[in-house]
Each structure stands twice: as C-alpha cells, then as structure tokens.
C-alpha cells in the first residue's frame, strides 16, 4: 500500500514541476512572437521548443524524481511512514500551488495568507 502511495506522490510532484518549468520557458519564448512574421516564428518556435525541451525533459524528470523521493523520505523520517508521506506531499503541493498561482494569476499566495485575504480567492 505504501509503495503505491509513494509512487503516486512522486509521479504527481514530477508531473506538476516539469509542467511548471516547461510552461514558464514556453511563455518566455512566445513573448518574442511579435518580432517575427507568423509562419517564421512558428517554425523557429517549434524548433527552439524541441531544442530546449528535449534535453530539459530528460534532466527535469531525473532531477525532480530524485528531489521528490528525497522530500518524501525526509517527511517519512520526521513524522513516520504514512503521516510523513502525506505531510511531505501536502507541503510540496503547497509550494507548487504558490508558483502556479504566481504564474497563472500573478497572485502572491504567501501575502494573501498572512494578510487574511485568501477567502476572496477561494
């Protein structure tokens, strides 16, 4: 049972982190679309995306998978097997939620929490 929960947590964190990184890079590249003609930018952008994302996916998967395993194992050592897994997973999701809210809505989640304005965004 623990092995399935562990795999789920690591896979979920890996997917969300890899998507966050690749979306940020993609948004940065798309920011230059007004400097080129549409078809030229499309072809250049597609080529650039492959050149950036192919090695990035190979490394990000390796890095994030290792990092996720370390985070979850450290939670396990602090709070026990199942509780540590759940606490480490929720903590990592909280961090990812901060970065997604910042990227998608330009919301500083930490400021909202400390100033008590979180209710208006839920």
Q: Looking at residue 76, what is its pLDDT?
A: 64
Please report the beta strands in the chain, taking only residues with DSSP state E, as ranges in sequence order.
none
Q: Which domain holds residue 76?
A: 2-121
Q: Looking at residue 64, what is its pLDDT?
A: 67
Consecutive 10-residue averages of pLDDT for the chain (122 residues): 76 80 82 83 80 73 72 68 80 89 87 81 78
Number of domains within the chain: 1
E strand or H helix at 23, and its extent? Answer: helix 2-30
pTM (global) more than 0.85: no
């Amino acid at each position: 049972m623990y092995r399935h929960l562990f795999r789920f947590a690591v896979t979920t964190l890996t997917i969300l982190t890899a998507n966050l990184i690749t979306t940020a890079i993609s948004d940065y590249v798309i920011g230059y679309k007004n400097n080129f003609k549409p078809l030229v930018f499309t072809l250049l952008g597609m080529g650039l995306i492959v050149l950036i994302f192919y090695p990035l996916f190979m490394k990000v998967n390796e890095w994030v998978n290792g990092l996720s395993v370390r985070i979850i194992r450290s939670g396990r050592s602090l709070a026990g097997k199942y509780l540590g897994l759940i606490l480490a997973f929720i903590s990592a999701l909280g961090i990812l939620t901060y970065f997604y809210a910042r990227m998608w809505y330009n919301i500083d989640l930490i400021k909202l929490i400390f100033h008590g304005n979180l209710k208006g965004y839920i």
